Structure 1
């Protein structure tokens, strides 16, 4: 149980002089991590409410996160104490490490969205992007990751989708000759649409990007459209009407050009 010793060490040794001994336990399955209420409450509104309420978990000084992946919970606690998790970039790149870190980043993004921890989300997306760009794994694994990310219903998926689109666009010349990748593009409607949109953005001014490219709030397909906030617009893909103020700007691609 070396990871538990590590995280207890972070909580007890690094912060003990300033914050005193741990006064809260975060439990996930059989894993229990000793932490300080003051630290986790400062980083996350969920913990702040849990520590200040009268729930059974607070009375026993235990908050249970049994629905979340253990690795993601541990990474979240480490981030709350150190501002990062896993030191992923200092360990070097390898096929096994990349695959593990990508899976962890996907889980951490989900937990960061779930508990509204913007800083953790930023760190996880950065880690994900670095390991995706490294591209150690074969095209089959690459396709599997794209299916996983685009097939997920997690609210964090949009952040990861934007990163994988930029990475895939850079790698298209390498990926297209591989067996099955062209067929894969035909089958992945939203991913392929995002690739095409990103390609178009390489030749469009930032002003036009911010003004015209939007995602339908019903089906999430991206199109170029001139909107007025108080008018209704029908999506050419799903055929549903939505108020102009609900159409989501596609912005992140512009910052990654």
Structure 2
């Protein structure tokens, strides 16, 4: 039996606004961060989770790599039971902690074999250069989490499981590294354009609009209306892959909105 409620009848349904899958958003969030919370199963208190701060780097399949000491409590826990989870959260915007995206990878953690150490070392040091001072210590070793399942939360009401296969096949959003700069520019220099785009594409009586996220397919806005704060997603005219392409599309959209 479905646990979803039936939607009210709408004689003029709108097509869904395209947006990245949960798998792509999960890969993007993991890509943007490099420190997470690792939960292992405690040896001292059997059955209880034990949380640790854990720097990580990602291999080509999005699997987290760890450089950890044999003396660390989480390493001892993993040697006894490889089951673990890794939690990563997006920085909260405007103090809205529960509105921030987050992802949990659940899987088994195992030490890398000797033949994979060189590649892991190179990947890890790119993400954590300071680790060069202890990476070759004999009591440190590389471990990797092999995801068995992934759970993504995109904020209020946006959540779902992602299969390990879908997660591995996905790629980080091409705008991930430039997204904050795009948001800052649009919100600081083009607030009027955001209001116009929101009124045109989201059909909301926007008094003000703030771009809260952007990706290759479109962007989200937080909108102040006479009826209160609302959220909306606005699709791009076409998929983009660079900040320059994003700017070009936004200029076209604003021009069309003004002409309309």
More helix per residue? 1
TM-score for the superposition, normalised by structure 1: 0.24
TM-score for the superposition, normalised by structure 2: 0.24
Bigger relative CO (Cα 8 Å, ≥ 6 apart)? 2
More strand per residue? 2
